[in-house]
């Protein structure tokens, strides 16, 4: 499916996992899930910034 082909990259998988960890951590009050959620989301954000600044050259 062409729609699902956008979701098979590492940054997209990292943001999905990060949001899932954050959502689970905050809704279920499992504070040990918040840190991995922040890490996954932050790593994905750094990939996004790297790609953005690389294309600006």
From the list 36, 39, 44, the residue with the least C-alpha distance to 15 is: 44
pLDDT in tens, 24-55: 999 998 889 899 999 988 887 776 666 656 66
Residue 20: predicted pLDDT: 93
Entry pTM: 0.69
Rounded Cα gap, residues 39 and 21, in angstroms: 10
Q: What share of the chain is helix, strand, coil (3-state, %, to 5)?
A: 80, 0, 20
């Amino acid at each position: 499916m062409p729609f699902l082909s956008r979701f098979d990259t590492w940054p997209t998988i990292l943001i999905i996992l990060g949001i899932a960890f954050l959502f689970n951590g905050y809704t279920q009050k499992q504070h040990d899930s918040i840190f991995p959620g922040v890490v996954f989301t932050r790593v994905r954000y750094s990939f996004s910034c790297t790609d953005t600044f690389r294309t600006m050259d």
